[in-house]
Amino acid sequence: MKNWSSAISVIVILLIAGCGYDPSEHGTAGEPGFREAFFDSDLLEDLMDDKKCVVIRFYSIRRSADDVSGSAMAMSSDLSGEDRYSWWFGPWYKAYEELRGDGADFRNLKVGDAEEATRFMRDAGYTPIAANFKKEEIRTVLALKSCNGVQLLPELTPDGRLWTMRLIPVEIKDGTATRVGDREDELVATEPCPTFCGGRPEYYVNMR
């Protein structure tokens, strides 16, 4: 009986300690280092209109040294795996800020600022990741009824070893995102960088 009482006491203490736990109070956003990000169809189409764009690459980032929830930024990439960034002509890196109206606000980042955003993630104790999604697959998602954007969520690869991203179709309206479509309409990047960074890892800003 005494052992049962001790066990129950331990469980009660753990439950009390867990109540009201807010990751932001501890300067973390979970193991992947970011919670979510949204990108609307206008932004994605602007990136995909580039004839040399093969994939859209999403990076997990922190927008500042004291950003505890994290975010993601988007960039188009070509067949060689290089980001299509151009200081003169664009595009610049697109960092998600917040939902507003029927779209998502973002901040344009120069390459140096983009590299710094991944360093903020690393300095907080997390590994910044990059996840690639094929342009054609994203356009298929955006063609779903009522879909005008996507949500990015962190997800473990099937073997449970690496963090990657899941892309979910959403309708953004009045500053709120609602999932649309079915589970099979969602996309998962199966080979995140690191560890899968192609022959030229320096093409990825999170590897510099």
Amino acid of residue 93:
Y
Distance CA 30, CA 22 (A): 11
**Range 144-148, long-range pairs (CB < 8 A, 24+ positions):** 144/169, 144/180, 144/181, 144/185, 145/180, 145/181, 146/171, 146/180, 147/41, 147/171, 147/180, 147/181, 148/40, 148/41, 148/102, 148/103, 148/172
Mean pLDDT by 10 residues, the chain (208 residues): 42 35 35 95 98 98 96 97 94 98 98 98 96 98 98 93 96 98 96 92 96
pLDDT for 7 equals: 41
Strands 37-40, 55-61: pairing kind: unpaired
Name the strand (E) or helix (H) holding 187. strand 187-188
Domain boundaries, the chain: 28-207
pLDDT for 194 equals: 94
Q: Which residue is listed with tokens 């949204």? A: 38
Q: For residue 73, list its beta bridge partners.
A: 59, 95
- Residue 58, CB half-sphere, CA atoms under 13 Å: how many? 31
Q: For residue 94, list its beta bridge partners.
A: 74, 108
pLDDT for 134 equals: 98
